[in-house]
Chains A and B, each alone.
Chain A
Amino acid sequence: MPYHEFDCSKVIPERKQHAVVKGEGEDLTSCLPKGYLNTIPGSISERGCAYCGAKHVIGTPMKDVIHISHGPVGCTYDTWQTKRYISDNNNFQLKYTFATDVKEKHIVFGAESLLKQNIHEAFDAFPEIKRMTIYQTCATALIGDDINAIADEVMAERPDVDIFVCNSPGFAGPSQSGGHHKINIAWLNQKVGTVEPEITSDYVINYVGEYNIQGDQEVMQDYFKRMGIQVLSTFTGNGSYDDLRAMHRAHLNVLECARSAEYICDELRARYGIPRLDIDGFGFKALGDSLRKIGLFFGIEDRAEAIIAAETARWKPELDWYAARLKGKRVCLWPGGSKLWHWANAIQEEMGVKVVSVYTKFGHQGDMEKGIARAGVGTLAIDDPNELEGQEALLRLKPDVIFTGKRPGEVAKKMRVPYLNAHAYHNGPYKGFEGWVRFARDIYNAVYSPMHQLSGVDISKDDYATDKGFVTRRMLSDASLPEADRASPLTGYTGKFDPIEALRAKTDADYPQFARKSSPQAAE
């Protein structure tokens, strides 16, 4: 096994099994780090807790819901706002966060009455919102508060509300991934099958493992609607609570982030016979193939092809403009989980960059299998890295840019490695054909920004070069390009600052109307 031992982790010998370098001729039977294990004592992990995984990643993107944490306010604060999963109802779920604010006295005397009071206060404060999710945290789990009992009492007192309880306290797994699992299964057990939806198309999907980061879901939903497909629910970005109770009526589960949401797809397959189709919404080829597959499943591939042709004609030249300028740039692809395989091959093939390292904070070995399979020879793959290992890798690999979360991103910035936010994006959406160009644009700006060069200059000294502050695109990225590329009249991305606004303005009249073939029952 081609393990990689970090100098800084020699004092934690078990860490060695968590990093490998993919050598020539290596495959998945000889090259795979350990994964999804408890963080080794002494290693300061970048992981989140299982409560965070349940609430922050999966629960909170649901838009028409009061999301309340039963616990100290700190748990809530750390899972508020930072992930930009926007929604088309004025971002209710991002703007407001709720906590029961448990204190020491509640730990001694119990916090159930406090919870009940908080639930009523929240519903009273937002009378238009009739749905709630409640999240267990470490403290309230340990004192044995029965959240379900309180939720049942409130639902009996307020018949127009519905409450979902998520029992995934921080310690319920090695990382946030434990929480993904728990909330998937809890939602399925408690809520799926409790609402019967109106079926409006012959082709009905759940879009699963999609969190509408800066509008990703709305971009993809637009493609689906253009194909005449009904998106019954999205689990969970921009998703509606009651739509998600009707997931059992879809004909197909289209799964984007398998890491966080494969469990509900697998169980919907087992319990309701709904197939699971894994797709990649990132990258022209992968996205095109994904739309084709969904089209094929429903016998409407021609509709997918029309979209692919139009979008490719519009955006491919701009993607290629960036690819010419990003060729060979070294990338550390260090996301939380699924981006390591969603992006590893697509950015190399379509943007010309070279992935020199992949890592996952909370992924399982299955994620690493996908990531390593898609990465090239020489790639350093790290599971659950600590900050010192990250620094050592950056010094050794000297990447031109790093895609990661905000905590390691800040460390990278201090080491003067440009950083793009892999979780919340910089100027997303990154899904869709246009989104992929936006991602290329952000990579370009990160790699070439003169700010990074200037950040190494001590401006308190008088002897730095005052004539070198002004640089242009032609000086930065075009100087060594072939003549044909330099002569291109293009200047990169030409889309709007906010591409989502126009999508939200669309009405049914803007989408093609396809005649129904059959009644909903027959379509199944």
Chain B
Amino acid sequence: MAGFKKEKPTARANYPKLHASDPLTGFDAETREKVSFMENYIMKNCLWQFNSRGWDRRKQNEGILGKTTKLLLGEEVENETPLEKCYWVDAVLLSRAFRERCAWLAGMGKDEVQALMKILHARIDWLTIDGSLNEELTVQNY
């Protein structure tokens, strides 16, 4: 199928670290509360953030949260490959859940939503990749 480039196991296992500390630290209480609420929903109901390797989690988080952000902003989402479409599927469910449960999203401007989702993305990356205690994340093969 189109659109898939096979990477070398060594290269992909050496993914760069993005966060050296909890990215939520320093934000105001309201932002922290909103992000925590969204984080809790993801942790309790989703599985995509827990693929077995760090490089894969990075792609999953980016793919799904990136598309979720677009959906929340009402932007068009393009799915050129089946893999992209698979991210989109999880993003659709997540954006619906957020719309349903986070009434405050409706009162936020597009920039604010985008900024909030960026913090959420960083926080999920921190929990599942950069701050993770899982010692198997950097194993080269699956």
Contact = CB atoms under 8 A, between A and B. Distances in A.
A32 interface: yes
Contact of A270 (B3, B6, B45, B90): B6
Contact of A369 (B2, B3, B50, B89): B50
Interface in B1-49: 1-4, 6, 22, 43-45, 47-48
What 3 pairs across the A-B complex have the smallest Cβ distances? A273-B1, A275-B86, A29-B131
B119 interface: no
Interface string A332-363: 00000000010001000000000000000000
B133 A292 contact: no
Nearest to B135: A365
Interface stretch (A83-91, A115-123, A276-284, A432-440): A276-284
A27 B24 CA distance: 13
Interface string A234-250: 00000000000000000
A413 interface: no
Contacts of A266: 51-52, 56, 142
Contacts of B50: 258, 366, 369-370, 373
Given A269-B83, A365-B134, A369-B134, A29 B126 contact: yes
A426 interface: no
B45 A286 contact: yes
Given A27-B127, A293-B89, A32 B136 contact: no
A341 B142 CA distance: 20
A374 B52 CA distance: 17
B52 A373 contact: no
B45 A365 contact: no
B16 to A, nearest CB: 18
Nearest to B22: A29
A501 B3 CA distance: 43
Nearest to A34: B135
A292 B93 contact: yes
Contacts of B51: 262, 266, 276
Given A29-B132, A370-B50, 12 more contacts: A251-B82, A258-B47, A262-B52, A266-B142, A267-B142, A270-B4, A273-B81, A273-B83, A279-B47, A292-B93, A296-B93, A373-B43
A46 interface: no
Interface in A439-495: none
A97 B10 CA distance: 41
B88 to A, nearest CB: 8
B128 A289 contact: no
B82 A364 contact: no
A369 B132 contact: yes
Interface string B105-137: 000000000000000000000111001111110
Given A275-B83, A374-B43, A366 B52 contact: yes
For chain B, give the interface size range: 35 or more
Nearest to A283: B45
Interface residues of A, number: 43
Nearest to A375: B44
A373 B142 contact: no
A263 B52 CA distance: 9
Given A293-B90, A297-B85, A524-B1, A366 B136 contact: yes
A511 interface: no
B56 to A, nearest CB: 8
B29 to A, nearest CB: 14
17 contacts: A27-B127, A28-B131, A32-B132, A34-B135, A266-B142, A267-B142, A273-B4, A275-B83, A276-B51, A277-B90, A285-B45, A289-B45, A292-B93, A296-B93, A365-B134, A365-B136, A366-B136
Contact of A29 (B1, B83, B127, B142): B127
A80 interface: no
A193 to B, nearest CB: 14
B82 A280 contact: no
Contact of A364 (B3, B52, B126, B128): B52
A203 to B, nearest CB: 12
Contacts of A267: 142
A32 B83 contact: no
B136 A252 contact: no
A39 B83 CA distance: 38
A296 B93 CA distance: 9
A514 interface: no
Nearest to B44: A345
A98 interface: no
B8 to A, nearest CB: 11
Q: Which of A269, A366, A374 has the largest number of chain B CB atoms within 10 A?
A: A366
A369 B45 contact: no
Given A29-B22, A293-B89, A274 B131 contact: no
Contact of B142 (A36, A251, A262, A272): A262
